[in-house]
Structure 1
Amino acid sequence: MKALLFEYRFVVAVIAAVFLFALLEWQQFKVILYQLMLKAKSMAKDLVLNSGEAQEEWVLEKAYLYLPIRIRILIPKEVMRKIIKYLYHVAKDYLDDGKVNSSV
């Protein structure tokens, strides 16, 4: 009985550690995406990137370089494009009034 209880605690601890690691990596990846978005906007002001689609494609290509290969296999570019659009709208909403409340 004690061995079974010990194994159960070990499994829960491993799952919690994996979840925490994934959460921290997601936060770091969001920071990288926001930095890439700001860089794309800066390049648009310098007339290097002409349209919003060009900016989005540039961010997508650069973001894919930051992902490990094992994650690139699991996340297709269309899903990454949706993540980038979502984070872009969250950033615009936050810059609107300092809150994320869908007021854009």
Structure 2
Amino acid sequence: MQKSKENSFDDIYEVVKLVPYGRVTSYGAIAKYLGTGGARMVGWAMNACHSMPDVPAHRVLNRNGLLTGKHHFGGNRMQELLESEGLKVEKDQLVDFKKYYWNPSEELL
């Protein structure tokens, strides 16, 4: 039985809720951990969750640490949220991405 898109989004949200404060992950890392849909599906889920305050979508970046979802937050809100957690962003990219990277496949054993 194939999962519905809605259930997949819920699974994605549950993983994103586990990303620790001051850490980030990537669309692809979440997709790999869940084994469903690919990075684009994770991106679609992040775009659809902005009315859900318990899903820290700002902690999900692309594989190079770029704030590719920034335009869905409006203005510089994504950067502001990351910086409020002590992270530094320059030119829409997280500084020291690898240092703050949280991999669910390694962390959620």
Structure-2-length-normalised TM-score: 0.37
Q: Which has the higher contact order (CA 8 A, sep 6+)?
A: 2
